[in-house]
Amino acid sequence: MTRFSLAALAERAVYLVVLGAIGAEAVASGLSGGSAPPIAEGVAAALTALCLVLLAKGLLGFGPLYAGAPARTWVLSTPADRGRLLRKHLAGAVAAGVGGCLCLGFAFVAVTRLTVAVAPWFAVWAAVGVVVACACVLIQSRYGSVPLVQRGLAVTAWLLAGTAMVADSGLDLVVPVPVALTCAVAAVWLARQRLGTMTRGRLSSGAELATATQASALSLDVTLFWTIVLERRARSLGRVRPAAIHGTRFTALIRADLARIRRTPTALLFWAALLAVPYGAAVTPFLPAIHVVAGFVAVDRLAAGLRVVSRAPALRRALGGSDRELALAHLAIPGVGAVVWSLVTLLVVPGVTPLMAAITTFGALAVVYRVATRPPLDYPTPVIDVGLFGPTPLGLILQLSRGPALLAGLALVQTAVG
Amino acid sequence: MLTVSGLCKSYAGLAVLTDVTFTLFPGEAVAVVGPNGAGKTTLLKCVAGLEEPDSGLVELDGAPLRESDPAVRAAMACLLDDADYFPDLSVVDHLTLYAHAHGTPDVPGTVASVLQELDLPADQLPVTLSSGQRHRLGLASCLVRPRRLLLLDEPEQRLDHAGRSWLADRLTKEKASGTAVLFTSHDPDLIAAVADRQISA
């Protein structure tokens, strides 16, 4: 190994230690409590249950077991033991469920300042994750049951969001560790029994989304992911009643955008659910940064129309007018969403100041616009070395500057003035 | 109305279009013909402003054609191979939106007439349409709005026999109403029925 490689390794080790220490400090701070008042247990319980439902929805969206086109064509078409082939996939789904639930367990303790025995607490949450993931596999293995369960989960999510608004005291629900672990083992056994019955059709239901997620993660561009999500939603809707599109050119564009929002209530649910994030973060010193990031994510859920029209030259040609006018019309609904979201947090969340709300309103809208209108990643660009991550393509840096880096800068500004 | 002069385009040194020159007048239809790979679609993309030619000029009403110019978008209705749709707006929503966006008089009447003419399911979302129905939606989006120039890339594709007859009839009517039509095609019957002139790509 050369001296240069050793120096590069040492440099990255330093970064890892620094970032790891920050993470460990955040976890320790969350578990030990702080000076700020805790969140009511009822509210936290309802929000945690809501996140659990969203986790299940997400897992079902990916399958949770899926096989890409090569595996479907070359492996699953053979008489190979399908149950054995899918064991790794099941392990992946279970790991995702456990990871998600451990985060939920940590968040619950962090925001309620509940005193818990750490090992049993997280053991129960891990068991919940296993049960949720395996239940999703069982649902996937039954013909035609996924859409029905998805609809039920959507209704449950809305009910839980409503409950979070009014709940004040929590349920004293105690699950003994042995019971939780027994349920988890039973769930894994049941799920493994069903692996052999998975058809290629059922395994391909989430492959498109999984491929898009991988591509989006590798290219640091969520456009492909959201395009597939939108198409899947549209496929599940199939037919819709005509939207009330009328008025002048500008109002017709806004009414069409409004119709799109009404047809995808999950986006509105996310927008509303994200109101709880700064509420939960009010007890932490990261409130200003979390406020602006949550604001961006919430407003971005309402900007599907802007994303579509920005990426489709054919649509812009068909709609006529200038690109600026089309972007403005499709910024109207996200703009209103940004104002209302910030206003509600200003009124409800302790610690949110008018200046913080104003920065989030304009900042989130600006980032949403920049992200939606950024050009695709240009691969054949020069590579420069900025030290932190080694040689990096200039195109990737420019891409980041129109998305995550811009948001990070905004979070720093918010923290500085907050 | 549309003037194309000295248009050249090549990809990686391979010449696709070489010194293409023609003029299209209102009420006239010009067919771009040639085998696969001859550059028919590239020519239409250069005319529509989607592709930048290596050299040459495309002018609309005497001014250089710029795709993002609102006046150009108002005059030109295109159906090229990059057709796209809002995934969560139905067929009728798309047509109504296009009609309002371009100031079509009597929007409900025009939309209903085009829907019936093209036999499109009004309440379906584009992702649930067959490829043929999606192509018809593309044609409908051109016909539901005012236009002076129609650019169509192989409009007969995915249409059945009756659909091709309807298309020939419709394009003939477009010419009669003063609309200029520039289209590529592999269908000799459609070319014979509609085109006033042919250009070999």
- What are the DSSP calls for A195-251, one per residue? HTT--HHHHHTTHHHHHHHHHHHHHT-THHHHHHHHHHHHHHH-B-PPP---SSHHH
pLDDT of residue A38: 64
Contact partners, residue A73, CB within 8 Å, separation at least 6: none
Answer whether residue A79 is part of any domain: yes
pLDDT of residue A309: 93
Q: Cα(A79)–Cα(A81) distance, rounded to whole angstroms?
A: 7
Whether A225 and A201 share a structural domain:
no
- Candidates A249, A282, A252, A247; CA nearest to A353 is A282
pLDDT of residue B45: 93
Whether A201 and A333 share a structural domain:
no
Strands B63-64 vs B55-60: parallel, antiparallel or unpaired:
antiparallel
pLDDT of residue A349: 86
Whether A322 and A400 share a structural domain:
yes
Domains in chain A, number: 2
Whether A117 and A143 share a structural domain:
yes
**Number of Cα atoms under 13 Å in the Cβ half of residue A160:** 21
Domains of chain B: 2-200 (3.40.50.300)
pLDDT at B165 over 60: yes
Across the interface, do B127 and A240 touch by the CB < 8 Å criterion?
no
Whether A136 and A233 share a structural domain:
no
Across the interface, do B125 and A237 touch by the CB < 8 Å criterion?
yes
Whether A40 and A176 share a structural domain:
yes
Peptide bond into A334 cis (omega under 30): no
Whether A160 and A235 share a structural domain:
no
Whether A383 and A363 share a structural domain:
yes
Measure CA A46 to chain center: 18
Answer whether residue A66 is part of any domain: yes
The domain boundary residue, chosen from A189, A209, A229: A209
Answer whether residue A20 is part of any domain: no
Whether A263 and A402 share a structural domain:
yes
From the candidates A225, A245, A306, which should be mutated to test the interface with B, based on the most B CB atoms within 10 A? Answer: A245
What percent of chain A is predicted at pLDDT more than 90?
33
Token pair listed for A368:
């949403």
Task: Tell me the mean pLDDT in the region B67-75.
Answer: 92
At A174, the pLDDT band (50, 70, 90 cuts) reads confident
Contact partners, residue B9, CB within 8 Å, separation at least 6: B15, B16, B17, B39, B42, B46, B51, B53, B54
Helices A287-300, A323-348: crossing angle, 10 deg rounding: 140
Highest averaged pLDDT of the listed ranges A142-146, A175-179, B180-184, B196-200: B180-184
Supply the range of the domain harboring residue A396.
221-417
pLDDT of residue B147: 94
Lowest mean pLDDT among A21-30, A238-247, A367-376, B126-135: A21-30
Enumerate the residues of chain A whose CB falls inside 8 A of the CB of residue B125. Answer: 234-235, 237-240
Q: Cα(B27)–Cα(B105) distance, rounded to whole angstroms?
A: 21
pLDDT of residue A192: 92
Lowest mean pLDDT among A36-50, B25-39, B73-87, B89-103: A36-50
Helices marked H in A33-142 — which ranges?
41-62, 69-74, 82-85, 87-112, 118-141
CB atoms within 10 A of CB A21: 10
From the candidates B100, B106, B128, B130, which should be mutated to test the interface with A, based on the most A CB atoms within 10 A? Answer: B100
At B122, the pLDDT band (50, 70, 90 cuts) reads very high
Answer whether residue A388 is part of any domain: yes
The answer to whether residue A238 neighbours chain B at the CB level (below 8 Å) is: yes
Nearest CA in chain B to A226: B87
Task: Tell me the mean pLDDT in the region A325-334.
Answer: 95
B residues 62..101 contacting A (CB < 8 A): 67-68, 70, 73-74, 76-78, 80, 82-90, 92-93, 96-98, 100-101
pLDDT of residue A170: 59
pLDDT at B54 over 60: yes
Q: Cα(B97)–Cα(B83) distance, rounded to whole angstroms?
A: 16
